[in-house]
Structure 1
Amino acid sequence: MRRALLRTALVSLVCLTGLAAEAGGRRGVHPADRAEARFHPMYGNIPACDDPAVLGEMTSWFNSRESRFWGPLRALSYDRVAETGFRPWGDDFIPRRFCSGRILLNNGVYHRVDYSVRENLGLFGLTWNVNWCVSGLDRLRSYAPDCQMARP
């Protein structure tokens, strides 16, 4: 009885460890299943986190949303921008570059901003786009709790 229980526990541990390693890190993918081998291939050619086009698009969307729905806040600048992950879920998913930094608003307060630059998810699937969340300003809790769902 004791040996069977120990064997069951060991098998469970091995299975859970395998799933955790697969979910937490990059897993091996057959070359035919990679994003580059699709009918519309994705190569991971997306701009860097601190690219002016990326920050400009984020600023434009943030300022537009704030002025239209919530109030007078406007994005002024960014600092401490760094990449937090590139294709963290594997090569068969849509290529994404995850980034984090601080955004200075016109009220003089810095907020953490988490964002991802995603390939082929822009206009008509022809270009990249940015998905972002500003900590403390996720009023609809789309990325709750506190923008964690915008991170890898």
Structure 2
Amino acid sequence: MHLTRSAILAAAVLALCAGSASARPRERAEDFFTMNYDGRMPACDDGTSLYEISQRFATAEAFTFNSPLRMAAFTDIRQSGFRPNGSDFIPRRYCTAKVVFNDHSVRTMKYFIVESGGFMGFNRGVQFCVLGLDRYRAFSPDCDAAGP
């Protein structure tokens, strides 16, 4: 009998807490975090982001996998989502592109740009996944975790 009263009390407290949490007004993430967000996310074809992707890929291929594979060009760049999780979350722009490699192969790449997602949150960060080359399996399966 005592256990039942405790369970009822716990359920009532949980219901009150859940009700008050859902009543809060929606806020943009940049309004309640101290971020260096200027309201302008770079576009998918931003040269700085694509350069960072190609450099990080080259470094991983050379030093981790002892491979001469390099990204040579980006084509068919498209946005696949912008803030798909809502404004409560840190701004992210999701993109896809075709990548031409130095061995003349063409593969699809999914990547996203995260506001304040760089080193220690001081600048923008970029995460990417090339279909067929996700050797760390960080975005498995088939780079789906790199998309919206």
Gaps of 5+ in 2: 1-23
Q: Is the 8 A contact 2:110 2:146 kept in 1?
A: yes
Q: What are the within-5 Å matches in structure 2 for residues 26-45 of structure 1? A: 30-31=25-26, 33-41=27-35, 42=37, 44-45=39-40
The percentage of counterpart residues that share the same residue type is 38
Paired position in structure 2 for 1:149: 145
Question: Structure 1 residue 48 and structure 2 residue 65: aligned?
Answer: no
CA distance in 1, matches of 2:91, 2:125: 11
Q: Structure 1 residues 122-131 or 78-87, which shifts more?
A: 122-131
Superposed structure 1 runs of 4+ greater than 2 Å apart: 41-45
Q: Is the 8 A contact 1:84 1:98 kept in 2?
A: yes
Q: What are the within-5 Å matches in structure 2 for residues 102-121 of structure 1? A: 102-121=98-117
Q: For this pair of structures, how many residues does the alignment match? A: 123
| 1:13-45 Cα distance to aligned partner (Å, 9 max, x none) | xxxxxxxxxxxxxxxx824x3213214144542
Residue type matched to 2:34 in 1?
Answer: H
> Taking structure 2 as the reference length, what is the TM-score of the superposition?
0.78
Q: Is the 8 A contact 2:95 2:110 kept in 1?
A: yes
Gaps of 5+ in 1: 1-28
> Taking structure 1 as the reference length, what is the TM-score of the superposition?
0.76
* Structure index of larger Rg: 2
CA distance in 2, matches of 1:81, 1:44: 22
